[in-house]
Structure 1
Amino acid sequence: MSFVGQSSSVGPSSLARRLRGPLAGLFALSPSLAFAHTGVGDTHGFVHGFLHPIGGIDHILAMVAVGIFAANLGGRALWAVPAAFVTLMAVGGALGMSGIEVPFVEIGIAASVIALGAAVALDWKEWPLGLAMAMVGFFAIFHGHAHGAEMPPDASGAGYAAGFMLATALLHLAGIGIGIAIGRIGENRAPHLTRIVGAFVAVAGVGLLTGVL
């Protein structure tokens, strides 16, 4: 089993080259953004779908943490881990839109914030790629189900899905940027800052789980 622990200190031009293909793949996973422009219902759905992930602190923390986690792992994980999240989130979204129940969705979302925050805080770069993808994919189902179940009844399902998948990919990119920025501040300070950021996310997850937040 291969490991993906590599330095996350990547220059801007190098990062752009690495992400060009993966980003195209991420957006190809979502329904065509043309759905957002084909009619009132589609536009309504796209806007609501796009705003849903950024309207809740639980979704923001989890999705940004996925990006930081991927940046910490480096290598193929830089695109494969976010892609796994988006893909399985789409599955969860389809379940939610179809009215198929997934147990403990709210607990799963809060647990995802704790687990992903802990993964960032531990800053362990020797995660097997498959395990990292499986972990984020598992939690993505809960997030996707919440997005799908809360779709407005008059919204276009395709437009709504395109919206929340695009917003998620952008939050992942923000997390990757944060992770790379932290990695560039120096070998002595970067691990400490990574642990602080991860611990903050994990503690926030505990707050969500207990109802404090």
Structure 2
Amino acid sequence: MLKKLLPLLLLCWAAPAFSHEITSGAGFVTGFNHPVLGFDHLLAMLSVGLLSTQLGGHAIWRVPLAFMAFMLVGGILGVFAIAVPFVEIGIALSVLLLGGAIALDKRIPLYAAMAFVGLFAIFHGHAHGAEMPELASPVLYALGFLSGTAVIHICGVALGFIMQNINVRWPLTRLAGVAIAATGGYLLMGF
């Protein structure tokens, strides 16, 4: 089973491929591509899915939905050029702290988890909104980045369930959290 997870683990040590340079196209596809192709966004959103699976119960859907709701707020701020300080640092910090939360595997209250991911979602959303191409439809672009985020969250939840059900000596989800947090630390070193 570890051989099947090796490609995922290798992603954690790959060089960051920031999505913030996407300029071609407009509308839904460009919005969808922004979180999917951005390594920093991808790791944070996978982490939200993993964390929600770790918490279990209603967190499995409420935590990702909270992320998406706050991300939309951040996206609106970005589209209207309302400044949010330290966006890129906030995104990198989200990878570090979400990975750390997964690695620690502490039971935190549902609403605290929702607020935790919501804070970081504002940074991610602002980056998406601020980089919307001029000719893109804001509604289609927002639907695109929300859809891309939902797909990544679902993949994170599925991955969380798979890792919880693999019978090995090591807690794979917590190990993934360590790798994600280490990647977030690496991203922060760039600032």
TM-score range, shorter chain: 0.7 to 0.9
Partner of 2:22: none
Cα distance in 2 for residues equivalent to 1:133 and 1:140: 10
- Residue 75 of structure 2 corresponds to residue 96 of structure 1: no
Q: CA RMSD in A?
A: 1.3
Partner of 2:98: 116
Partner of 2:34: 52
1:57-76 alignment, distance < 5 Å: 57-76=39-58
**1:155-202 alpha-carbon deviations (Å, 9 max, x no partner):** 00000000000000110000000100011113x6352x1221001100
Q: Which amino acid aligns with 1:156?
A: S
**1:56-100 alpha-carbon deviations (Å, 9 max, x no partner):** 110000000000000000000000000000000000000000010
Larger Rg: 1
Q: Which amino acid aligns with 1:210?
A: M
Query: Which runs of 5 or more residues in structure 2 are unaligned?
Result: 1-24
TM-score by length of 2: 0.85
Cα distance in 2 for residues equivalent to 1:134 and 1:190: 29
Partner of 2:185: 206
Contact 1:114 1:202 in 2 (8 A): yes
Partner of 2:169: 189
- Cα deviation for residue 104 of structure 1 reads 0.6
Contact 1:66 1:116 in 2 (8 A): yes
TM-score by length of 1: 0.76
Matched positions, count: 167
